[in-house]
Structures are given as C-alpha cells and as structure tokens.
Structure 1
Amino acid sequence: MGPALLFAPADRPERFAKAAERSDAVIVDLEDAVAPAAKAQARENMLNSTLDPAKTMIRINALDTAESALDLAAVRASKFTTIMVAKASHVDAIAALSDFSVVALCESAAGVLAAAKLAELPNVVALMWGAEDLVASLGGTSSRFVRGPQAGGYRAVATHARSQLLLAAGAAGKVAIDSIYADFADLAGLAEEAEDAVASGFGAKASIHPSQVAVIRDAYRPTAAEVSAAGELLAAADAAGTGVFAYKGQMVDGPILLHARQTLRRSAT
C-alpha cells in the first residue's frame, strides 16, 4: 500500500472508482462523512462496491455507538478485511476484533494515551491520529493556530499527540498514518506538512480531496539526486567493510545507512 490514502464518503458511491484510480488506497467512510439518515444506504454502497480489498479500508463508527455494530456486520458480509476504527481507545474492544486487520484511529485524549498498547495488539496493523476530534475531546476549539506567525501550524497539544502516536507505532513495528490536512486549497501547506511526515517517519498520510494525492506522493517520492546519493553511499559502505567510515568529509554509521536504505525503498514504491 502506497503513502497517499484518500477518504471517500460511503454515501457517494460514484466517487469510489475515481478515489481508487487517484490514490494508493481508499478509506471508505461510514462515520463522520455520512449523515445519520444515510448510514444504512452507505453500508449497502460499501457492500455493492467493486473496490479492491487489498487497497481499501472501511472506517467504521466508534465502538461505543449503536452504528458500529451495524457497520461491523456489514463489513463481515463484505469482501473487505481491513477496518479503521474511529475514536479507538479501549484496548480490549480493539483486541476483540481479531477477524479484521485494524487501523486504530486515535483521535481522543484516551486514544492517544492508549496508542502504545493498541499498537502492540496483533490485529492492529497501523495507527492514525486525528487532530480536530482530539482537541474537541479536551474541550478546545482548534488544533491549529489561526493567526500570527504560526498561523496554520499545529498547537503544542496536537504536535505532542502526533509525536506520541508516531513513537507508539514505531516501537511496535507498525505503520503510522499522518492526519489529514483539512484546508485542501492550501497545497503548499500540505506539501510542507507531508514533507515533515516523511522526514519524521510516518508511513502514509491521509487526504480528503483528490488534488492532495499528488502532493503527498511527491513528498514521499525521493528525487533522482537523492536516490543516486543513497546508492553511492551504500556502495561506499560495502567497499569500506567497516561499521563506521569517512565519506565526503563526514562520518557515516548505521543510522545514516538506514536512512539511505529507506530512501531507496521509497523510490521503489
């Protein structure tokens, strides 16, 4: 699965195929994007879709809602096996979903604090975080600064949660998915945030609009110069045959070589 994930509202089935064509994986959304009155039809649309199960996940409603039981029954009747659980926080409840591959969406204070335990569950394949729901769960009003020199950037609590989720996923060897960038018209801001996601170690980033996909892919795709430099560095390491060696005026050790290998890995996706 590639790095650019795209949400598709389950009550808009005409968007499913386009979302699949334009992204690396589709998140069919049965939760926030669907009005209560449309949820039953949304589940039918999911059941009738022709999306590739290997490149699709279904976001279900939070497990403490009545809708989640209906969502789970519908997914179990479908060909899909990967679910994204909204507002995940209860470890035992997520563990009980052993017949699914689960993406735990940690978007509350409780969810972020439980991220490390959630990541250790064998059925959890990835963690994702959500900024606005998180801040709302704390009684706040906005995850980002709206004015001043930091306008558009995350507030400290959101940055802390983002880092905590990334560390939890990394410690357990699971994929970390970065949150959406809600201002889909601000592609420059998205590019900056996606580049930080790559540099920090997020394996993918979610999007809400097709125009965002190319920006995310560009951030994850190394330039030709970066690929060439990584290849040359690894070749020099093979020739040196030692754990630490000098290369172009700098000392090179294991972590730097790992960065180079990751660059080549991203170039191949």
Structure 2
Amino acid sequence: MTTTPHPRPGRAWIITPGLRPSRFEAAQASGAGVALVDLEDSVALQDKQAARTAAQAFFGRPDAPCTLGVRMNAPTTLEGARDLVALTGYTAKPDLILVPKTESARDIELVASVLDTDGYTPDLWALIESPRAFDKLPSIMRAPRLGGVIFGSADYAATVNCGLSWQALLYARSALVNSATAAGIHAIDAPTWDLNDLNALRHEAEAAKELGFYGKGAVHPRQAAVINDTFAPSEQEIAHARAIVAAGHKSGNGVTSVDGQMIGTPFFTAAQALVREVDG
C-alpha cells in the first residue's frame, strides 16, 4: 500500500528553554523551519510552572518566520497533565506539539483528546527516545494524529548505556527512518550536541540525510544554516534527478542508464520525488 506523507516540516528544528525569553527571538529568527520552546528537560521541576507562564510569549508573535511549537512534558506524568491544562488556556497556541517519552499510540491520542477542538488541531510529533518505544514503533506509527517523529539520542543512549557516536546509534536511527517511511511520515534526526564544531555537525547531517532523515535538530541558532544547507538538494543532485526523469520518459520507464549507472523503477521514483519537491 502506498502512503501519502504529511505536509513537509522544516529541515532544521531548534529548541530553546521556556525560562529564557531573551532567547526566543533568536531561535525564531535562526532560519530553522520549526522553533520549539521547551517545558521538559531544560526546566527544573521547581521551575515548571514559571516556564509555562513564560512560554506563552513564544507564541505571541503574529509574523513568526517559522512553525512554532512546544516540547511538553510526557503526557502520562503530572507535569505533562499540567502542561496540557496550561496549553488549553494560551491565547496564542502552538502550531506543533512535540510529545516526549512517547512509548505508545495512546500517548499521542491522549494529547489530541485534550487539545483538539473544532478550531484547533495542532500538529503532533513523537519524540522516540527509549528502547520500549523502538519495540512499539509499528503501533506508535498507527496513531491517526501523528505528524512525524524525532530521534531522542541522548535519552536513548543513556538508557541503553551506549555512546552517542554515529555507529553506536546507527541501528536506532535506521529503525526509526524505516518505520516512519512505512507510515508515510517524516523523521527528524537528533541534534549534534557540540555547540562549536560545525564541521562535525555537517558531517553528521550528511550521514543523516544519506540514511533517509528529512532534517535534523539544532541546539544553537548557528547550527540551523548548516542543517538547511546540508539537507537542501544540491544543484548536482537536482540535475542528476532531472536527467533520470528524462531518461525514464525516453525509455518508457524501462531499465536504462544515466552517466554509466543502470537505473530502473526505484531510481525513477526517487528522482521524480526530488523534482516534485524542488519544483513545488
């Protein structure tokens, strides 16, 4: 069965602490396609309510240049329940809700049941960051309101007691991309945690793109431009895709070759998808 992907998200996703209003404008102006205000890991327990109050200002900008969202606390926790109550009272509401610690479709359904109204149905994304979540991926992907998934590498590595290297997390990344693609939704890779090594960021972003991720998280505004540049199709990639599409038309979508490479139906499908994305 062929699935139709949800609307495309941004390539770069940036998250900023809910208790740092001074950083809100920089996050929104970073060039990221999605900017999230965080109520979860970056906020200490005793500061949760203050963060909920401060975070309202994140959504008060009517001309924001990107999709605005919030990472709430896990919906099955007391703080998550308090987040949902607070969000229902926001005058300006987030376009997107990132649901952390997602381990079942019910987590997504719970958030939707509280927040959805006739006039408001936010995009709901799951943060996949535990071995249990990976065991339950097929059922999580069947949640009707799920818009996409993000890899939570730090929590996953801490639980598994493995490193944060690319090789250590390759299985998890591959499994997430595979399940997301089967469900017709996009997957966003975890951030690169080094704030200053932009070469390392580019290298990891290139690897994530090659693996099938649609974009990547950022933890500093300077990272957004590198992510956008890496995930955007290059002129060479676009030209090659157009050549494949043209060759497919000429051959009646039969097996042929382009630049010495044998190509057939899977190559035509991928090239057509890229050309459609570029041409809008």
Length-normalised TM-score, structure 1: 0.87
- Paired residues of 1:231 and 1:260 also in contact (CA < 8 A): yes
- Show CA shifts across 1:136-182 (max 9, x none): 223x2x523xxxxxxx4441xx2211111111111111111111111
SS at match of 1:64: coil
What 5-or-longer segments of structure 1 have no aligned partner? 145-151
Match of 1:6 among 4, 14, 23: 14
Q: How has the CA–CA distance of structure 1 residues 227 and 242 changed in structure 2, closer, same or farther, with 3 Å as cutoff?
A: closer
The equivalent of 1:194 in structure 2 is 205
* Residue among 7, 10, 27 paired with 2:36: 27
- SS of 1:97's partner is helix
Q: Which residue of 1 aligns with 2:88?
A: 76
Residue matched to 1:149? none
How far the C-alpha of 1:40 sits from its partner, in A, is 1.3
TM, length-normalised to structure 2: 0.84
Q: Contact 1:4–1:205 at 8 Å: present in 2 too?
A: yes
Q: Name the CA distance, whole Å, in 2 between partners of 1:70 and 1:220.
A: 36
Contact 2:75–2:99 (CA<8 Å) still a contact in 1?
yes
- SS of 2:257's equivalent in the other structure is strand
Structure-2 change in CA distance of 1:136 and 1:59 (3 Å): same
Distance 1:67 1:163 in 2: 31
Partner amino acid for 1:143?
G
What's 2:163 paired with? 143
- Answering whether residue 170 of structure 2 is matched by residue 159 of structure 1, we say yes
Contact persistence 1:129–1:177 (CA under 8 A): yes
Q: 1:231 to 1:266 in 2, by over 3 A?
A: same
Residue pair 1:112, 1:161 contacting (<8 A) in 2 also: yes
1:171 matched to which residue of 2? 182
Which structure exhibits the higher relative contact order, with contacts defined as CA atoms closer than 8 Å and separated by 6 or more residues? 2
| Superposition pairs of residues 57-72 of structure 1, within 5 angstroms | 57-72=69-84
Q: Secondary structure at the match of 1:61?
A: coil
> Which is further off, 28-37 or 247-256?
247-256
Give the direction of change, closer, same or farther, for the CA distance of 1:199–1:226 in structure 2 (3 Å limit).
Answer: same
What is the aligned counterpart of 1:38 among 31, 44, 47?
47
Contact 2:105 2:141 in 1 (8 A): no
Tell me the number of residue pairs that the alignment of Structure 1 and Structure 2 aligns: 258
Deviation at 1:14, TM superposition (A): 2.0
RMSD: 2.1
The within-5 A match list for 1:92-107 is 92-98=106-112, 99=116, 100-107=122-129
Residues 1:216 and 2:227 aligned together: yes
Unaligned runs of 5+ in 2: 1-8, 117-121
**1:122 matched to 2:139:** no
Post-superposition Cα deviations, 1:92-128, rounded to whole Å, max 9, x if no partner, equal 2322222243211111111221222111111111111
Q: Which amino acid aligns with 1:182?
A: W
1:267, distance to aligned residue in structure 2 (A): 4.2
How much does 1:69 deviate? 0.9
- The answer as to whether partners of 1:222 and 1:266 remain within 8 angstroms in 2 is no
